[in-house]
C-alpha cells in the first residue's frame, strides 16, 4: 500500500504542472458541451469550490476556527435577492453591495475577538453564536428576508446580448468569476502577505516580536474571506433564483468544513477540488440512496480527520 502510494506521489510530483493546468482548464471550459444536462450542477460545484477556497483562507491559512462562513455566504445571497425581488434593482448592484455589507459585518464581528486574541476555543464558540444569530435572524425577520419562504424567484439578466438565464451561459459567467477570484487568492497566498500569514499561524508571538502587526494580518484574511464568501453567495443565488435560510444554516457551514478537511486545509486547490467532487458525489448518491449522502459524508469526514488529517492534498504531496 505505502509502496504504491509512494509511486503515486512520485508520479504526481513528476507530472509537468503547466500542461496539467491547461488540461484542467480545457476540461472546465468543455463541461457544458460534454455534459449539457449537467451544466447547472457543474455551476453549483464551481461556486461551492470558490466558497471552500475562501473559507480555507481563514481556516487553513490564518488558523481562525470559524463556524460562521455560511453567514457571509448568506449575506451575499440575500443582498442580491433583496435588491432584485423587493426593490426591483439591478442584479449587478447586489454584488458590490453584498460584498461591502459582508466586509462591514465581518469587521464589526471580528474586530474585538481578533484584537483581544481570544483563544481558539472561544473563537469557535463566538462564531457559533454569531452563526446562530444570523440564522435565527434570517428566519424571524419575515419583512426583510421572507422568513422560511426565502426571497425569490428571479433569473439573472441579459448582458451584451448574452442571456445569463441560460444554464450554459451562467456556467461560463460563474467560471469567469471563480477563475478570477481563485487566481487572485492564489496570488495573494503566494505573495509576501501569504508568507506572513503562514508564519503568524506557526508562531504569532515571534511575528509580533519581529514587528509585524499580526492582528492586522489576521483581520485582512478574515475580511478577504468574508468578501469572497459573499461573492460566492451572490453568484449562487443567481443560479438557484431564490435566497433561502438553508444558505445561512449550519448544514452549509458543516459542508464547507468537510470539503476543506477532505481536500486538505491550507492548500487552496484541495478544498476547491474536493468541494466539486463531493457535490457531484452528492448528486449521484441522491439518485441511488436518498438521504444516505450526508451519512456517508460524515463517515468520510471522520475517516479523514483520524487517518488523513492533511486531506487529499496531503496524501498526494506526502511528508514534506
Partner 1 sequence: MSGIALITVDNFVTYALNGLSRGMIIFLVASGLSLIFGLIGLINFAHGAMLALGGYGTYVILQVMGNFWLGLVISVALVALLGFALERKVLYWIYDEPLLGFLSTFGIGLVIEEALAVYFGSRSYTVPSPLPESAQLLGVSYPSYRLFVIAVGAAVALGVGALLTKTRLGLEIHATANRQPTAEILGIDTARIYTITFVLGTALAALAGALTAPITSMYPTIGLDYITMAFLVIIVGGMGSFKGSFVVSMIVGQIIAFGWLLLEPTYVRILVFAAAMVFILYKPRGFYGKPEVHE
Residues that bind partner 1 (CB under 8 A): 65, 112-113, 116, 118-122, 124-126, 128-130, 132-133, 136-137, 139-140, 250, 254, 257-258, 261, 291-292, 294-295, 297-299, 301-302, 305-306, 309
Residues in the chain: 320
CB 16 to partner 1: min, Å: 35
Q: Say how many C-beta atoms besides its own lie within 10 A of residue 88's C-beta.
A: 8
Residue number with CB closer to partner 1 (29 or 129): 129
DSSP the chain: -HHHHHHHHHHHHHS-HHHHHHHHHHHHHHHHHH-GGGHHHHHHHHHHHHHHHHHHIIIIII----S-HHHHHHHHHHHHHIIIIIT---TTTHHHHHHHHHHHHHHHHHHHHHHHT--HHHHHHHHHHHHHHHHHHHHH-HHHH-GGG-EE-----EETTEETTSHHHHHHHHHHHHHHHHHHHHHHHHSHHHHHHHHHHH-HHHHHHTT--HHHHHHHHHHHHHHHHHHHHHHHHHHHSEE-GGGGSHHHHHHHHHHHHHH-TT-SHHHHHHHHHHHHHHHHHHHHSTTHHHHHHHHHHHHHHHH-TTHHHHHHH---
Judged by beta carbon, residue 71 or residue 164, the one nearer partner 1 is 71
Q: Are 73 and 226 spatial neighbours (Cβ–Cβ below 8 Å)?
A: no
Nearer to partner 1, 132 or 315 (CB): 132
Q: How far is the CB of 94 from partner 1 (least distance, A)?
A: 25
What is the rounded distance in angstroms from the CA atom of residue 70 to the CA atom of residue 83?
20
Q: Which is nearer to partner 1, 49 or 113 (CB)?
A: 113
Nearer to partner 1, 176 or 295 (CB): 295
Question: Smallest distance from the beta carbon of 173 to partner 1, in angstroms?
Answer: 33
CB-wise, 136 or 163, nearer to partner 1?
A: 136
Shortest Cβ distance from residue 83 to partner 1 (Å)?
Answer: 24
How far is 273 from 296, CA to CA, in rounded Å?
18
Instruction: Tell the smallest beta-carbon distance from residue 253 to partner 1 (Å).
Output: 10
Residue placing its CB nearer to partner 1 in the complex, 49 or 131 = 131
Q: Shortest approach of partner 1 to residue 276 CB, angstroms?
A: 21
Measured from the CB of residue 289, what is the shortest distance to partner 1 in angstroms?
9
- C-beta of 1 vs 108, nearer to partner 1: 108
The CB-of-142 to partner 1 minimum distance in angstroms stands at 10
Amino acid at each position: 500500500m505505502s509502496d504504491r502510494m509512494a509511486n503515486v506521489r512520485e508520479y504526481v510530483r513528476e507530472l509537468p504542472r503547466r500542461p496539467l493546468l491547461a488540461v484542467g482548464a480545457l476540461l472546465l471550459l468543455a463541461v457544458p458541451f460534454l455534459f449539457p444536462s449537467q451544466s447547472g450542477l457543474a455551476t453549483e460545484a464551481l461556486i461551492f469550490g470558490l466558497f471552500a477556497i475562501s473559507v480555507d483562507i481563514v481556516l487553513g491559512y490564518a488558523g481562525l476556527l470559524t463556524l460562521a462562513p455560511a453567514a457571509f455566504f448568506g449575506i451575499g445571497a440575500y443582498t442580491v435577492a433583496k435588491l432584485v425581488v423587493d426593490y426591483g434593482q439591478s442584479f449587478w448592484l447586489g454584488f458590490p453591495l453584498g460584498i461591502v455589507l459582508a466586509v462591514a459585518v465581518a469587521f464589526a464581528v471580528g474586530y474585538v475577538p481578533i484584537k483581544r486574541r481570544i483563544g481558539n476555543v472561544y473563537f469557535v464558540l463566538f462564531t457559533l453564536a454569531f452563526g446562530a444569530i444570523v440564522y435565527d435572524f434570517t428566519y424571524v425577520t419575515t419583512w426583510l428576508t421572507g422568513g422560511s419562504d426565502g426571497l425569490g424567484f428571479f433569473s439573472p439578466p441579459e448582458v451584451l446580448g448574452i442571456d445569463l438565464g441560460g444554464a450554459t451561459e451562467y456556467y461560463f459567467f460563474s467560471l469567469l468569476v471563480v477563475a478570477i477570484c481563485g487566481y487572485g487568492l492564489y496570488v495573494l497566498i503566494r505573495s509576501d502577505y501569504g508568507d506572513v500569514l503562514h508564519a503568524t499561524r506557526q508562531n504569532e508571538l515571534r511575528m509580533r516580536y519581529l514587528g509585524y502587526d499580526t492582528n492586522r494580518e489576521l483581520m485582512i484574511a478574515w475580511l478577504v474571506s468574508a468578501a469572497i464568501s459573499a461573492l460566492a453567495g451572490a453568484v449562487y443565488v443567481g443560479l438557484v433564483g431564490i435566497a433561502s435560510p438553508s444558505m445561512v444554516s449550519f448544514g452549509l457551514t458543516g459542508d464547507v468544513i468537510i470539503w476543506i478537511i477532505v481536500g486538505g486545509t491550507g492548500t487552496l486547490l484541495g478544498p476547491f477540488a474536493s468541494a466539486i467532487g463531493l457535490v457531484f458525489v452528492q448528486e449521484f448518491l441522491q439518485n441511488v440512496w436518498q438521504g444516505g449522502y450526508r451519512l456517508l459524508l460524515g463517515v468520510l469526514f471522520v475517516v479523514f480527520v483520524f487517518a488523513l488529517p492533511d486531506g487529499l492534498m496531503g496524501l498526494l504531496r506526502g511528508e514534506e
